[in-house]
């Protein structure tokens, strides 16, 4: 099916999220949509899949103008969308997820549906048990389920939003093979990503978005430098590496084992030294988040010993860790890190040591003004945290950290932030390493970020933890292989 | 911007008018004269000093429980178990009084110990709901409801069992205490200035606790985002427990006041629905301590004013509850409509 | 006690559980759609009074039951409007309505207090009622008790076996995913809240026209039923079968309270009547304790085998609410 977008405009308040987008995607092609976070990729795809309506402009399918009223209407027109976090029902069975949304009689015929499901799955070499519960599937399998469901509903154009985030390498290879096969059958694939290598490998045409505008299109062979320039508007340099001067041991893990519902981590020993940065790499849900929480005392190891600066803290609560200079910054800033409804000033008051019973308002306001200035937060002392942008929320979280600290634990510290905020956040973090000798352990899905800022890297794969790798000697490719479960023999040899 | 103070006030006024209209319709439904009914409530509450002193008697427990509930609401908790906490306060107070009434201790000391026992009893019962919530994961609404029923049963068992009047047990409660063990009353009324004073001090303390202290701010953080509060270093479950216990102290105090200042004995329905009414007051003032006292006074006036309705107009006195419920409902709905449709 | 009296007692238990059953099924459906209808306690009282008044005035049982359902639907419409359209706290609205409807029922019911009205008669099913034991137990009841058996099955089949039932699970679990599958989430939530409300409303006339016929105001003994039904819904883990089990368990306990009273003369009847409540708290504790953070920490410190065993038991007992229960849905 040929998909055509003509003069699409969409405003969100003052933001021009789609600015006169014109794009024609011929049937049977795999169209890459590149752009960094906030470039307007999602807005455009949401307009195409019926989630939002463009302020003006036209959508044409096979040359005919259509009005797409809702996501369900989109699929009636043959446009299916696979969301980054698959929109399914985790506590329900695969087969029920498959059936739901398809019209039919009062009592769905599960047996026929299961048969058709299996037939479809075989075509693409997927093996999912229709009677399994979705919450026991991996993200990759949930994507496969969604793809099958959309095909079953008659999708002729498939939009995939950042599908390679959070799935394993074999699953990624399988996904790409599937997409190529579908395209060969005449399906239109729209592949939204900010990952150059995926787009380069998979797509046979690319469009680049920046700040709501379509800044260019390209056919293979792709000029990667040119694409980068189109995405960012300038060639980005991350700045030089900082040489490591390892200090004393801050956190020491001895034969730590962890367990949660999904996976087990066995026997990890690690010595974290003052001033160093350790990056945790792995597909989402490979165990790195649990590991980081264990370092913060939020999860109790089932075996092993933890000590901070020589003091045994095994089995202690997070607050004991906190008193020993450990700080933990969760990925969900507004849900877990900050208190919506409270102002910046109130946050700073909460984070400080208290004196007496009553709060000194003037002093609190002064403190807030001071921090807002130091950390370059766009907001006032009375701004509530939910009114801040993501970047400013992260700055606020950093501003809340006490001094001195011995260990800072961060989950996706720059997720969803623009380049400027990212670099600012890291400069502040590195400052703390250099000045108060804090050590940092962080999780990131961005392998470039992991290699750029870490001194050592731990790779996680379904609960397996690599020995610490020297970030200077590992390449992005190698890391990519490892997080997908390949090449583990070599590093442990 | 239409989002200014006067506009908000207008919306609330409209809600009050709607509530009054709703009650008028209800009155017409039972073929009662609405104006006469409203007039009777007014006369029945502020028509004389005697009536108004009755309003103040009812105001005391209502304001006390409202103060306590403001603390639990700040922590994001729906302490529906407040009724049982009042009851336990009354039971503990009665127990202390029964234990000490024949002793040689000075009456003032006995009364003080009785009140303290009441506060302790309320706190225990609240802590139980709190423990179910923080350690057992049982939502405080359901734990609280269950504990309310248990408290009522315990109360009735005591009145009809171990503490029954000599001869025959009855719904009229336990044997009244000696007059010297009553909280002193203002002459010609049943109102105790002490009780009134304690209630007013209670709401003032609550106001400052929630507005100006580290404790209040931390409690709010726990209420708005428990997880973030924990990461900010606040011992969250301890704060929840303390807020439950504090609320229980207020509720127990209210129960003790009912025993020592109003009934001078334990009666079956000692909590008199003040706990639920306090929840309504807290909702109506949008959980802000500043307006709690006037609204509680108004609700108390409605309660007292409707008492003579059955005699004068052959209407059930639950009209007060209808009026109170309608007020809170319409104000809440009007606020919702304003936020949803007007601010955009 | 003879086997005969036990049989009659148990048959009575089934009848006594009928109103609670309707209320629990109604609440289960409403909560499955994501809306907590906390007004239940007041709704049942108001519909008990209202349906009795209508039946009294029209001398028609059918109209009485209809009025009960209509009152329940009307109250739930307010709940739906406040929580779906206005996005106000469902707990707050529900609680206010619980109190308001209770007082309304006492106020409006004042003139008809103590009057005798029509009463639903038992309707033994010819043939089936002659079966020994089972006939007395199941087939010599009144129409609404039969209906209460049916509603359990209907609710279960609907939720788990039908297409719209699957979508009902979907809108309470993950409305965004239901939305992309073509569900008008908020419209469906209105629909199920109102259907649930009507079922809750039917509990009223089952009391006032059958189980506890008449309207006796504050001494009707109905105040509190709604709160019990709410707890049973949670105990039932939003599954009609498990909820039905809870409702019958509760009715049996109350019956035992009555039966045991002559044996324990020192204890007033009110006390035995509340015997199920500590038990209810205990069961809520059991189904919820697996979610408590400290349990997880303690478990981690246990030896492996114990840890596995305890975790397994806790998971089996745990009841997980629909993920979007109480959360408003915005389609854009």
Task: Give A374's contacts (C-beta < 8 A, 6+ positions apart).
Answer: A399
User: Model confidence over A50-72: pLDDT tens digits?
Assistant: 988 999 999 999 999 999 999 99
Name subunits touching C (3+ CB pairs < 8 A). Answer: A, B
Name subunits touching A (3+ CB pairs < 8 A). Answer: B, C
CA distance B137 to chain C (A): 5
pLDDT above 70: percentage of residues in chain B: 98
Two structure tokens written together for C133? 């034991």
**Would you call A104 an interface residue with chain C, using a CB distance cutoff of 8 Å?**
yes
Q: Is residue A235's pLDDT more than 50?
A: no
Using DSSP, state whether A280 is helix, strand or coil. Answer: strand
- pLDDT score of B173: 86
pLDDT above 90: percentage of residues in chain B: 72
Distance CA C182, CA C33 (A): 15
Chain C residue numbers touching A101 (CB-CB < 8 A) = 180-183
- pLDDT score of B303: 94
Average pLDDT along chain B: 92
A463 or C177: whose pLDDT is higher? C177
CB A187 within 8 A of CB A218: no
Is the CB of A107 less than 8 angstroms away from the CB of C164? no
User: Model confidence over A20-42: pLDDT tens digits?
Assistant: 999 999 999 999 998 876 788 88
Domain hosting residue B334, numbered range: 1-32+315-344
- Most confident segment among A223-237, A243-257, A266-280: A266-280
User: Model confidence over A252-276: pLDDT tens digits?
Assistant: 999 999 987 667 899 999 999 998 9
CB B247 within 8 A of CB B68: yes
Is the CB of A339 less than 8 angstroms away from the CB of B234? no
**Would you call A154 an interface residue with chain C, using a CB distance cutoff of 8 Å?**
no
Scan for tokens 């908020």, then name that residue.
C186
pLDDT above 70: percentage of residues in chain A: 96
Scan for tokens 């089972």, then name that residue.
C134
* Cβ atoms within 10 Å of C152's Cβ, excluding its own: 20
Chain A residue numbers touching B212 (CB-CB < 8 A) = 358-359
**Nearest chain C Cα to B278, which residue?**
C96
- Best residue in B30, B84, B153, B284 to probe C by mutation, most C CBs within 10 Å? B153
Q: What is the mean pLDDT of residues C158-172?
A: 95
**Nearest chain A Cα to B220, which residue?**
A342
Q: Is residue A285's pLDDT more than 70?
A: yes
Distance of CA A257 to the CA centre of its chain: 26
Q: Which CATH class is domain A249-325+402-492?
A: alpha beta
Q: What is the mean pLDDT of residues B160-164?
A: 86
The partner residue sitting opposite A341, judged by closest CB among B213, B224, B227, is: B224
Q: Which of A221-230, B219-228, C12-21, C94-103 is the least confident region?
A: A221-230
Distance CA A324, CA A438 (A): 12
Is the CB of B214 less than 8 angstroms away from the CB of A354? yes
Average pLDDT along chain C: 90
- pLDDT score of A234: 56
- pLDDT score of B125: 97
**Would you call A195 an interface residue with chain C, using a CB distance cutoff of 8 Å?**
no
Chain B residue numbers touching A347 (CB-CB < 8 A) = 232
| ipTM score of complex | 0.92
Domains and CATH numbers, chain C: 3-317 (1.10.3470)
Confirm whether B38 is domain-assigned. no
Using DSSP, state whether A196 is helix, strand or coil. Answer: helix
CATH number, domain of B101, equals 1.10.3470
Using DSSP, state whether A370 is helix, strand or coil. Answer: helix
- Best residue in C83, C99, C237 to probe B by mutation, most B CBs within 10 Å? C99
Q: Both B200 and B259 in a single domain?
A: yes
pTM: 0.90
- Best residue in A350, A394, A410 to probe B by mutation, most B CBs within 10 Å? A350
Q: Is residue C297's pLDDT more than 90?
A: no
Q: Both B338 and B269 in a single domain?
A: no
CB A479 within 8 A of CB A281: yes
The answer to whether the Cα torsion of A110, A116, A121, A127 is positive or negative is positive
Q: B1: pLDDT confidence band, cut at 50, 70 and 90? A: very low
Q: What is the mean pLDDT of residues C71-89?
A: 96
CB A461 within 8 A of CB A485: yes
Two structure tokens written together for A256? 């730590």
Q: Both B63 and B13 in a single domain?
A: no
DSSP secondary structure of B117-156: HHHHHHHHHHHHHHHHHHHH---HHHHHHHHHHHHHHHHH
User: Model confidence over C31-40: pLDDT tens digits?
Assistant: 999 999 999 9
In 3D space, the residue among A199, A200, A201, A204 whose CA is nearest the CA of residue A188 turns out to be A204
Q: Both B27 and B149 in a single domain?
A: no
- Best residue in C89, C158, C163 to probe A by mutation, most A CBs within 10 Å? C163
Distance CA B213, CA A138 (A): 47
Confirm whether B196 is domain-assigned. yes
User: Model confidence over A112-166: pLDDT tens digits?
Assistant: 999 999 999 999 889 899 999 998 888 889 999 999 999 999 999 999 988 887 6
Distance CA A243, CA A395 (A): 25
Distance CA A367, CA A355 (A): 14
B91 or B143: whose pLDDT is higher? B91
CB B136 within 8 A of CB C264: no
What Cα–Cα distance (Å) separates residue B275 from each residue in B45, B85, B174, C233, C281?
21, 9, 22, 25, 20
Average pLDDT along chain A: 88
User: Model confidence over B317-342: pLDDT tens digits?
Assistant: 899 999 999 999 999 999 999 888 76
- pLDDT score of A474: 87
Two structure tokens written together for B261? 């200042």
Pairing of strands A56-61, A264-273: unpaired
- DSSP annotation of A161: E
Pairing of strands A15-25, A249-259: unpaired
Residues facing residue A305 across a β-bridge: A254
Using DSSP, state whether A459 is helix, strand or coil. Answer: strand
Is the CB of C163 less than 8 angstroms away from the CB of A315? no
- Best residue in B129, B134, B137, B339 to probe C by mutation, most C CBs within 10 Å? B137
User: Model confidence over C298-331: pLDDT tens digits?
Assistant: 888 888 888 888 888 877 777 778 888 888 887 6
DSSP secondary structure of B76-129: T---TTHHHHHHHHHHHHHHHHHHHTTSSS-HHHHHHHHHHHHHHHHHHHHHHH
Q: Is residue C153's pLDDT more than 60?
A: yes
- pLDDT score of A301: 92
Q: What is the mean pLDDT of residues B32-56?
A: 92
Q: Both B203 and B270 in a single domain?
A: yes
Q: Both B210 and B332 in a single domain?
A: no
Task: Give C201's contacts (C-beta < 8 A, 6+ positions apart).
Answer: C26, C43, C44, C47, C68, C69, C70, C71, C72, C73, C75, C76
Is the CB of C104 less than 8 angstroms away from the CB of B146? no
User: Model confidence over A413-433: pLDDT tens digits?
Assistant: 988 777 778 888 899 898 888
Distance CA C131, CA C141 (A): 14
What Cα–Cα distance (Å) separates residue C170 from each residue in A359, B205, C85, C165, C183?
47, 47, 19, 9, 9
Q: How many structural domains compose chain B? A: 2
**Nearest chain B Cα to A349, which residue?**
B214
CB B343 within 8 A of CB B19: no
Confirm whether B193 is domain-assigned. yes
Is the CB of C174 less than 8 angstroms away from the CB of A87? yes
- pLDDT score of A166: 67
- pLDDT score of B194: 93
Chain C residue numbers touching A317 (CB-CB < 8 A) = 297
Confirm whether B44 is domain-assigned. no
Environment class of A342 (CB within 10 Å of its CB; exposed 0-12, middle 13-18, buried 19+) = buried
Is the CB of C304 less than 8 angstroms away from the CB of A299? no
CB-side exposure of B277: number of CA atoms within 13 Å? 30
Same fold, A3-232 and A249-325+402-492: yes
Q: Both B296 and B320 in a single domain?
A: no
Distance of CA C92 to the CA centre of its chain: 20
Q: Is residue C264's pLDDT more than 80?
A: no
CB A297 within 8 A of CB A305: no
B208 or A285: whose pLDDT is higher? B208
Give me the residue spans of the domains in chain A: 3-232, 249-325+402-492, 343-401
**Would you call A338 an interface residue with chain B, using a CB distance cutoff of 8 Å?**
yes
Q: Both B194 and B324 in a single domain?
A: no
Q: Both B223 and B344 in a single domain?
A: no
CB A31 within 8 A of CB A191: yes
Confirm whether B309 is domain-assigned. no
**Would you call A335 an interface residue with chain B, using a CB distance cutoff of 8 Å?**
yes
Two structure tokens written together for B206? 């609550």
What Cα–Cα distance (Å) separates residue A43 from each residue in A39, A54, A199, A388, C179?
9, 9, 19, 21, 18
* Domain spanning A3-232: CATH 3.40.50.300: yes
Q: Both B328 and B288 in a single domain?
A: no
* Cβ atoms within 10 Å of A218's Cβ, excluding its own: 18
In chain B, which ranges are continuous DSSP H helix?
Answer: 5-29, 34-46, 49-74, 82-100, 107-136, 140-160, 193-212, 214-224, 226-231, 236-257, 274-284, 292-305, 309-313, 319-337
Distance CA B222, CA B219 (A): 5
Phi and psi torsions of A60, nearest 5°: -120, 130
Residues facing residue A217 across a β-bridge: A207
Confirm whether B188 is domain-assigned. yes
Q: Both B123 and B203 in a single domain?
A: yes
Is the CB of A104 less than 8 angstroms away from the CB of C164? no
User: Model confidence over B121-136: pLDDT tens digits?
Assistant: 999 999 999 999 999 8
**Nearest chain B Cα to A296, which residue?**
B231
């Amino acid at each position: 099916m040929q998909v055509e977008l003509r003069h699409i405009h969409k405003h969100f308040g003052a933001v021009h999220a789609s600015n006169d987008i014109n794009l024609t995607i011929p049937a049977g092609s795999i169209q890459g949509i590149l752009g960094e976070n906030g470039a307007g990729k999602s807005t455009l795809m949401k307009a195409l899949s019926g989630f939002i309506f463009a302020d003006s402009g036209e959508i044409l399918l096979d040359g005919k103008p259509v009005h797409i009223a809702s996501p369900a209407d989109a699929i009636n027109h043959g446009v299916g969308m696979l969301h980054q976090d698959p929109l399914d029902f985790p506590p329900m069975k695969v087969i029920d997820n498959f059936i739901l949304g398809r019209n039919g009689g009062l009592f769905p015929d599960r047996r026929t549906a299961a048969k058709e499901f299996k037939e479809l799955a075989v075509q693409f070499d997927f093996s999912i048990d229709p009677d399994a519960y979705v919450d026991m599937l991996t993200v990759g399998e949930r994507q496969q389920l969604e793809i099958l469901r959309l095909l079953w509903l008659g999708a002729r154009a498939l939009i995939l939003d950042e599908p390679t985030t959070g799935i394993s390498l074999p699953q990624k290879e399988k996904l790409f093979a599937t997409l190529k096969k579908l395209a060969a059958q005449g399906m239109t694939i729209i592949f939204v990503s900010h990952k150059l290598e995926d787009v380069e490998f998979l797509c046979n045409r690319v469009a680049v978005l920046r700040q709501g505008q379509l800044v260019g299109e390209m056919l293979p062979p792709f000029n990667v430098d040119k694409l980068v320039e189109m995405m960012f508007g300038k060639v980005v340099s991350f700045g030089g590496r900082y040489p490591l001067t390892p200090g004393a041991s801050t956190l020491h893990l001895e034969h730590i084992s962890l367990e949660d519902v999904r996976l087990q981590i066995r026997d990890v020993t690690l010595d974290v030294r003052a001033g160093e940065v350790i990056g945790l790499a792995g597909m989402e849900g490979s165990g790195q988040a649990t590991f980081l929480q264990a370092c913060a005392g939020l999860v109790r190891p089932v075996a092993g010993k933890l000590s901070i600066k020589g003091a045994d803290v095994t089995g202690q609560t997070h607050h004991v860790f906190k008193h020993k200079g450990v700080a933990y910054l969760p990925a969900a800033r507004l849900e877990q890190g900050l208190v919506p409804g409270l102002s910046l000033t109130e946050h700073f008051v909460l984070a400080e040591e208290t004196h007496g019973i009553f709060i000194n308002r003037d002093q609190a306001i002064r403190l807030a003004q001071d921090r807002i200035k130091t950390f370059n937060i766009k907001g006032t002392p009375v701004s509530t945290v939910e009114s801040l942008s993501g970047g400013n929320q992260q700055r606020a979280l950093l501003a809340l950290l006490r001094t001195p600290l011995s260990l800072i634990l961060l989950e996706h510290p720059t997720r969803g932030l623009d380049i400027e905020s990212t670099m600012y956040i890291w400069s502040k973090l590195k400052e703390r390493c250099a000045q108060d000798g804090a050590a940092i352990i962080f999780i990131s899905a961005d392998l470039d970020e992991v290699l750029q800022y870490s001194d050592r890297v731990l790779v996680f794969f379904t609960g397996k933890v690599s020995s610490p790798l020297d970030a200077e000697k590992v390449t992005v490719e190698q890391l990519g292989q490892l997080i997908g479960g390949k090449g583990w023999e070599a590093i442990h040899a | 911007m239409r989002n200014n103070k006067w506009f908000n006030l207008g919306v609330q006024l409209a809600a009050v008018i709607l509530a009054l209209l709703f009650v008028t319709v209800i009155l017409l439904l039972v073929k009662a004269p609405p104006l006469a009914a409203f007039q009777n409530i007014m006369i029945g509450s502020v028509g004389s000093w005697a009536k108004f002193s009755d309003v103040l008697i009812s105001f005391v427990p209502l304001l006390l429980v409202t103060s306590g509930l403001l603390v639990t609401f700040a922590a994001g908790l729906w302490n529906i178990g407040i009724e049982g906490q009042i009851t336990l306060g009354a039971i503990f107070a009665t127990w202390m009084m029964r234990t000490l009434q024949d002793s040689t201790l000075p009456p003032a000391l006995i009364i003080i110990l009785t009140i303290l026992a009441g506060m302790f009893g309320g706190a225990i019962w609240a802590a139980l709901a709190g423990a179910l919530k923080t350690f057992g994961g049982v939502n405080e609404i359901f734990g609280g409801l269950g504990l309310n029923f248990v408290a009522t049963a315990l109360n009735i068992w005591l009145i009809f069992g171990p503490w029954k009047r000599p001869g025959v047990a009855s719904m009229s409660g336990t044997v009244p205490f000696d007059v010297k063990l009553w909280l002193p009353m203002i002459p010609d009324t049943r109102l105790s200035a002490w009780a009134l004073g304690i209630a007013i001090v209670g709401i003032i303390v609550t106001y400052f606790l929630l507005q100006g202290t580290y404790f209040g701010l931390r409690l709010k953080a726990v209420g708005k985002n428990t997880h973030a509060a924990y990461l900010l270093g606040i011992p969250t479950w301890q704060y929840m427990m303390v807020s439950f216990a504090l609320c229980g102290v207020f509720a127990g105090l209210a129960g003790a006041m009912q025993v020592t200042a109003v009934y001078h004995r334990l009666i079956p329905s000692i909590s008199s629905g003040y706990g639920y009414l306090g929840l309504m007051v807290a909702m109506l003032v949008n959980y802000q301590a500043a307006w709690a006292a006037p609204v509680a006074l108004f609700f108390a006036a409605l309660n007292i004013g409707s008492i003579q309705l059955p005699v004068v107009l052959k209407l059930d006195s639950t009209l007060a509850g209808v009026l109170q419920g309608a007020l809170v409902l319409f104000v809440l709905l009007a606020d919702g409509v304003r936020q949803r449709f007007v601010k955009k | 006690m003879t086997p005969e009296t036990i049989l009659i007692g148990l048959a009575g238990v089934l009848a006594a559980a009928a109103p609670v059953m309707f209320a629990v099924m109604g609440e289960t459906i409403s909560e499955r759609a994501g809306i907590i209808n906390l007004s239940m306690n007041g709704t049942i009282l108001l519909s008990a009074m209202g349906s009795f008044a209508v039946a009294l005035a029209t001398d028609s049982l059918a109209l009485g039951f209809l009025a009960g359902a209509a009152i329940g639907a009307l109250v739930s419409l307010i709940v739906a409007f406040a929580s779906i359209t206005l996005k106000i706290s469902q707990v707050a609205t529900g609680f206010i309505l619980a109190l308001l409807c209770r007082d309304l029922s006492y106020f409006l019911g004042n003139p008809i207090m103590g009057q005798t009205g029509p009463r639903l008669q038992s309707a033994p099913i010819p043939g089936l009622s002659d079966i020994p034991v089972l006939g007395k137990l199941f087939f010599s009841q009144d129409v609404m008790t039969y209906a209460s058996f049916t509603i359990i099955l209907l609710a279960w089949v609907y939720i788990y076996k039908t297409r719209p039932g699957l979508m009902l699970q979907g809108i309470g679990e993950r409305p965004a995913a239901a939305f992309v599958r073509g569900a008008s989430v908020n419209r469906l939530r209105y629909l199920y809240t109102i259907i649930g409300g009507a079922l809750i409303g039917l509990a009223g006339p089952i009391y006032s026209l059958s189980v506890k016929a008449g309207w006796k105001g504050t001494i009707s003994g109905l105040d509190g039923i709604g709160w019990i039904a709410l707890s049973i819904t949670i105990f039932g883990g939003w599954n009609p079968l498990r909820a039905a089990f809870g409702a019958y368990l509760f009715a049996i306990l109350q019956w035992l309270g009555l039966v045991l009273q002559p044996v324990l003369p020192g204890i007033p009847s009110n006390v035995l009547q509340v015997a199920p409540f500590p038990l209810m708290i205990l069961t809520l504790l059991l189904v919820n304790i697996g979610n408590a953070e400290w349990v997880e920490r303690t478990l981690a410190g246990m030896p492996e085998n114990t840890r596995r065993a305890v975790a397994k038991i806790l998971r089996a007992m745990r009841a997980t609410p629909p993920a979007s229960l109480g959360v408003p849905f915005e389609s854009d």
